[in-house]
Amino acid sequence: MIEVNQNPKLDIATLSLLKKKIEENKANPEDYKTLDYFLNSFGYESFILDSLKEYNIYSYEEYILEREKSFDLRNRYVNGSVLGIILGAISALEKYITNTIDFK
């Protein structure tokens, strides 16, 4: 179970801020944990962390470090697939809370 210091509120503003922080690699491990916490509330336990493990990244700290690395040394999936998974998860959460999903 993911531990988050405060009880974060799932709203558009928080998700938008998280998205921008992650895109610019200014998010800290707490932010990733918050995201995983939100996903957990929808039944996806450790979704982000498990996705990172698929690409041989075992913690949020490691992911942040990988993204800070220079072009030649970086894990080639970090700025592609992994970032896409995280942004996709945020986008799905946005759709849940804005009720834009067609359940028919």
CB-facing half-sphere around the CA of 38: CA atoms within 13 A:
23
> Can you tell me which of 80, 97, 98, 99 binds other proteins, judged by CB under 8 A?
80
> Can you tell me which of 77, 97, 98, 99 binds other proteins, judged by CB under 8 A?
77
What mask, x for binding other proteins by CB under 8 A, covers residues 34 to 73?
A: -----x--xxx--x-----------------------x--
> Can you tell me which of 25, 40, 46, 81 binds other proteins, judged by CB under 8 A?
81
Phi, psi of 84 (to 5 degrees): -60, -40
Q: Are 2 and 36 in contact (CB under 8 A)?
A: yes
- Is residue 95 at the binding interface for other proteins, with CB under 8 A as the rule? yes
Distance between CA 41 and CA 43 in Å, rounded?
A: 5
Distance between CA 89 and CA 10 in Å, rounded?
A: 13
Residues that bind other proteins (CB under 8 A): 39, 42-44, 47, 71, 76-77, 79-85, 87-89, 91-92, 95-96, 101, 103
